[in-house]
Structure 1
Amino acid sequence: MSTDLVTYYGQTDRIDQLVDKYGSHLEQLGREIKLLLRITLSTYVLMQQEYSASEYPMSSALEDSLCELVLPDSIPQGLYDICSQLEGLTVDEAETILEALQHQIRWGNARVLVN
């Protein structure tokens, strides 16, 4: 199991697959994708209070969370690919990825550099 992703705890085989594909700090994902993924994962976690992962999959979270923010035809294909890879995600796994994304967006490789 890889321990390079800033996850603190809860890293699983599914998260390791994400790391294997996108880098130890998800560095192959740009800031925009990370922000959109964070919104999608937050929606997914919220909806898991009422539905199971099979009743409310990541693809539903993606559509529900982003169709109000952006036009559906402008959602990056890479985000669809990531969400497809994360189908069946547990709430604990989603929270782990959310922590990593928050750290990367605020302090890491996806932060906004201001002069």
Structure 2
Amino acid sequence: AGDLSTCSGERNAKMVDTSELLRVFGPFEQPKGEHHSGQVSGQRDTASADQSEQVIRHLKQEIEHLNTLLLSKDSHIDSLKQAMLLLENHQAKLTESPAPWWKFWKKS
């Protein structure tokens, strides 16, 4: 009797429905000449939070893109190293002088 029931909102945050507040405390009445600055700042906080979440999402996407580019660069470097080793090996084989034909027991 008189207890407020809560429900879960975004990110499992506890929330109270306004109809519950009306049921327990009665209708809202604001004295004339008094402004609700809390409501305005709450709207600013919500807008600021939404903007921050959007920036965070954008930065996460940028990080993911940069990680992909980094992996691509590493893969390209590895393939270039492999090609360099093959070229060095081929060049070393070309510069070796073959053993004379009569030294068949020595393997080159």
TM-score of Structure 1 vs Structure 2, range by shorter chain: under 0.3
- More RCO (CA 8 Å, sep 6+): 1
**Higher CA-based Rg:** 2
For normalisation by structure 2, the TM-score amounts to: 0.25
